[in-house]
Chain A
């Protein structure tokens, strides 16, 4: 059974006839070719697939594409600023060495971005709690916490269009 779904992804309207069971993460990766959103588990524990769904962090491996007809999704490919600068969160991860292999990073950045929308100045404990649903096997997390703090302290970061 197929269903037509229309989703705005990174500001662009997309529409596809999909199988009802198509997961959002597969819609993004395979229908739209947005492969920055990753898959790391099958129980929604790891958070590698985290995207913003109408501004809130959501795990795209546990959502059907057809379920979010007419919604807005932001993926890591849409995280940068309009002038091409990294977002403060992207830059924070770079400055603080908040990534190693980079596989969990897109999900981590999207979850952290959602956190700062809710709480622009989180403590270390609040950051660690907010990121409970995102697993990183490389960093031991301290530098991810520092990256989120960097973004909180530099909300107006811009590289002046330099990518």
Chain B
């Protein structure tokens, strides 16, 4: 029986449900000390002085550092040269939450006490806390070397003036894609131990080899004695791919004081120091005919980079504009983007990273076209879909060569679950009844770019390469250990990879282990991000397992005095097809694979050990169709999701249980962006949502149940056919939710509401209409 496609319970769970998981903060090596930050309370200020005397005098304090202690050191890696963030602020702070000083003490209470005793004297400067403020004439400049606040501007190659002038109709929108805080429940944690044999850094991170390579380079130390370990990691969502000063400071301080140094971020710190996501504004214009057929699209993305731009943040508008046309055939597309710095927390990847922003805008535009033409939103989608026979389909962007999909098929499947006609009637009925809640139905036909990626793609974000490593190592008893450079933090990769390997090797699932997250153990690696763990890493496991299996068959054939081509396996026994009575078990093949005298000619011990650096020729393109049904309370403006219908096409499903979990989780974060979450700053750059009291990560009572369906167009870029599913929900859900709310209020002339759609925004609309 094939395990690929089976609902297998997770190997990860027994540890995690008993408290035996091992997260970085759970590690407490002998002599472990605690590091605490003093973080800027000013959005933009000169530092006049820092008084550390009282903190240093506190018993138990081992070190207090400011930028003066590390003046000779380079700035934090990952940034843009000249605009990068110092490990500790030098002379100027540029956002609330920027590190100004650190204290190391024998325990976290003393370190926190000492941090309170440090007095920083600031000379406040004017701050720009929004894109409009940063781009206003005469705005204060964050980085003098830039001369302004625009880091990069990519103009239209061709603004399509003629296409727009000739079009029967055009419509425009300004869309704010709200800034979100990724907020894994485990914040950033790291523990450095830099002793005589080298540096070991345990870190809550998604790409340990990436961090190992970078930290070794930063300190000029060899990689062989630099070890990074990402043990159990409590969620990442893209925020744990970024280099932050914490990693480098704990390492340096450990070397300085000769003890392990641990940093455990508080939630309030996490909300301002862990890099944010989204934070884009879009100006979109679309040209279309009276039947709702799109003729041209023009999109300018303005990306808020926060105070210190980084490579990932700079890549976000590139991904957004590449995916601007969604799953539609649009004859002419013009894209332009601008990266701008503000006095806010830096911005980088958050689940979906650039693609949720793209799908939100194109799906809002589709509904706008429906509204303008009177054609039903479902029909507008159908009229513009790229047809199923058009793949491979070249878009306006060289990054996005769509290779598979069935957008109309996904919508058809969705409508089997949604009683659309009845809902439309019910909506009309309720509009006539002032006591009834308003009803809205919203659709989203979404598409994303995932499975990162073909050679060169991750290199552009500073990674070593774009492959993923897989090593399959048969043990002498015939069990298997798989080492992967993927670095899971909730995805269930250990289970998924064991399923793939079990099928390829013919070894029982229970006798396959998967190891990850340790640069001293895993050959090399890239990491888990961009929905790549199965589409790239899983394919690597399949390739390596297949190579091992071929050699195992050769050994079995040798032992059975048969030809390898005739050998098959069942129940962990190799035999010649048709003669199962004479067989050799996997355990014997494995044992003898290490004994030169037992091997066929030309084979050497170690033949059942294969390492693959799996490459893929293209990105993958997961897609789907979602529908959200909302009710709106006319008295409070509160939006309640009645039903959320989700049809995904992630290609081949390895484990439906885990795919379901990924879809739910992504959709939950998408709904959260649409209705609840917004990292807000006041005009002076002070964050207004810096605790979980006011940054609204939804609870169980805030979210609906999900009705899921699936279609499958296999990924042609790997033999598994899998596309990846980790980010899909966060790409597809926000437009479905907002389209539903706008639909509910469309009789009042509402064309758009920016996220999050809070009760007060809706209430103001309802009051204004009275």
* Residues A29-76 near B (CB distance < 8 A): 29-30, 33-43, 45-46, 48, 75-76
Query: Is B413 interfacial (CB 8 A cutoff)?
Result: no
How long is the Cα–Cα vector from A17 to B234 in the complex, in angstroms? 32
Interface contact B657-A97, CB-CB below 8 Å = yes
> Which of these, B17, B23, B109, B268, contacts A99 with CB under 8 Å?
B17
Question: Which residues on B sit within 8 Å (CB–CB) of A101?
Answer: 184-186, 232-235, 489-490
Interface-facing stretch out of B588-596, B658-666, B761-769: B658-666
Nearest CB of B to A33, in Å:
8
Query: Is B560 interfacial (CB 8 A cutoff)?
Result: no
Query: Is A141 interfacial (CB 8 A cutoff)?
Result: yes
> Which single residue of chain B is at the shortest CB-CB distance from A109?
B17
How long is the Cα–Cα vector from A107 to B699 in the complex, in angstroms? 14
Query: Is B701 interfacial (CB 8 A cutoff)?
Result: yes
Interface contact B186-A38, CB-CB below 8 Å = yes
Question: Which residues on A sit within 8 Å (CB–CB) of B109?
Answer: 19, 21-22
Interface contact B235-A138, CB-CB below 8 Å = yes
How long is the Cα–Cα vector from A97 to B185 in the complex, in angstroms? 18
> Quick one: given A42-B691, A45-B692, A80-B18, are A139 and B664 in contact (CB under 8 Å)?
yes
Query: Is A2 interfacial (CB 8 A cutoff)?
Result: no
* Residues B692-712 near A (CB distance < 8 A): 692-693, 697, 699-701, 703, 705-706
> Which of these, A103, A124, A134, contacts B184 with CB under 8 Å?
A103
Interface contact A100-B691, CB-CB below 8 Å = no
> Which of these, A37, A43, A142, contacts B705 with CB under 8 Å?
A142
> Quick one: given A101-B185, A133-B699, are A140 and B266 in contact (CB under 8 Å)?
no
Query: Is B163 interfacial (CB 8 A cutoff)?
Result: no
Question: Which residues on B sit within 8 Å (CB–CB) of A109?
Answer: 17
Interface contact B693-A37, CB-CB below 8 Å = no
Query: Is B187 interfacial (CB 8 A cutoff)?
Result: yes
Interface contact B232-A102, CB-CB below 8 Å = yes
Query: Is A95 interfacial (CB 8 A cutoff)?
Result: yes
Which of A21, A33, A79, A135 has the most B CB atoms < 10 Å from its CB? Answer: A135
How long is the Cα–Cα vector from A106 to B184 in the complex, in angstroms? 15
Interface contact B237-A137, CB-CB below 8 Å = yes
Interface contact A102-B16, CB-CB below 8 Å = yes
Interface contact B185-A135, CB-CB below 8 Å = yes
Query: Is A7 interfacial (CB 8 A cutoff)?
Result: no
How long is the Cα–Cα vector from A136 to B692 in the complex, in angstroms? 13
How long is the Cα–Cα vector from A104 to B654 in the complex, in angstroms? 25
Interface contact A94-B184, CB-CB below 8 Å = no
How long is the Cα–Cα vector from A142 to B326 in the complex, in angstroms? 29
Nearest CB of A to B268, in Å:
6
Interface contact A134-B661, CB-CB below 8 Å = no
Which of B183, B235, B669 has the most A CB atoms < 10 Å from its CB? Answer: B235
Tell me the dominant secondary structure on chain B's binding face. loop
Chain B 712-732 near chain A by CB (<8 Å), digits 1 or 0: 000000000000000001000
Query: Is B398 interfacial (CB 8 A cutoff)?
Result: no
Question: Which residues on B sit within 8 Å (CB–CB) of A129?
Answer: 700-701
* Residues B1-45 near A (CB distance < 8 A): 9-10, 12-23, 25-26, 28
Query: Is A9 interfacial (CB 8 A cutoff)?
Result: no
Query: Is B491 interfacial (CB 8 A cutoff)?
Result: yes
Question: Which residues on A sit within 8 Å (CB–CB) of B28?
Answer: 30, 33
How long is the Cα–Cα vector from A37 to B19 in the complex, in angstroms? 7
Query: Is B267 interfacial (CB 8 A cutoff)?
Result: yes
How long is the Cα–Cα vector from A138 to B490 in the complex, in angstroms? 8
How long is the Cα–Cα vector from A104 to B186 in the complex, in angstroms? 8
> Which single residue of chain B is at the shortest CB-CB distance from A96?
B657
How long is the Cα–Cα vector from A93 to B267 in the complex, in angstroms? 26
> Which single residue of chain B is at the shortest CB-CB distance from A129?
B701
Question: Which residues on B sit within 8 Å (CB–CB) of A86?
Answer: 14, 17-18
Question: Which residues on A sit within 8 Å (CB–CB) of B186?
Answer: 38, 40, 101, 103
Interface contact A139-B701, CB-CB below 8 Å = no
Chain B 264-285 near chain A by CB (<8 Å), digits 1 or 0: 1011100000000000000000
Query: Is B567 interfacial (CB 8 A cutoff)?
Result: no
Question: Which residues on A sit within 8 Å (CB–CB) of B183?
Answer: 137
Interface contact A45-B693, CB-CB below 8 Å = yes
Nearest CB of A to B203, in Å:
15
Question: Which residues on A sit within 8 Å (CB–CB) of B264?
Answer: 39
Question: Which residues on B sit within 8 Å (CB–CB) of A95?
Answer: 9
Chain A 129-152 near chain B by CB (<8 Å), digits 1 or 0: 101111111111111110000000
Query: Is B88 interfacial (CB 8 A cutoff)?
Result: no
> Quick one: given A93-B13, A97-B657, are A106 and B19 in contact (CB under 8 Å)?
yes
Interface contact B699-A134, CB-CB below 8 Å = yes
Query: Is B354 interfacial (CB 8 A cutoff)?
Result: no
* Residues B74-131 near A (CB distance < 8 A): 108-109
Where the two chains meet, the residues of B that have a C-beta atom closer than 8 Å to any C-beta of A are 9-10, 12-23, 25-26, 28, 108-109, 183-187, 232-235, 237, 264, 266-268, 489-492, 657-658, 660-661, 664-669, 691-693, 697, 699-701, 703, 705-706, 729
Pairs A–B under 8 Å by Cβ, sample size 5: A42-B268, A45-B692, A103-B23, A138-B490, A140-B703
Where the two chains meet, the residues of A that have a C-beta atom closer than 8 Å to any C-beta of B are 19, 21-22, 26, 29-30, 33-43, 45-46, 48, 75-77, 79-80, 86, 90, 93-95, 97, 99-106, 109, 124, 127-129, 131-145, 163
Excluding A40-B186, A48-B185, A141-B668, 10 further A-B contacts by CB distance (< 8 Å) are A29-B26, A43-B267, A76-B18, A97-B9, A97-B661, A135-B185, A137-B184, A137-B697, A140-B667, A143-B660
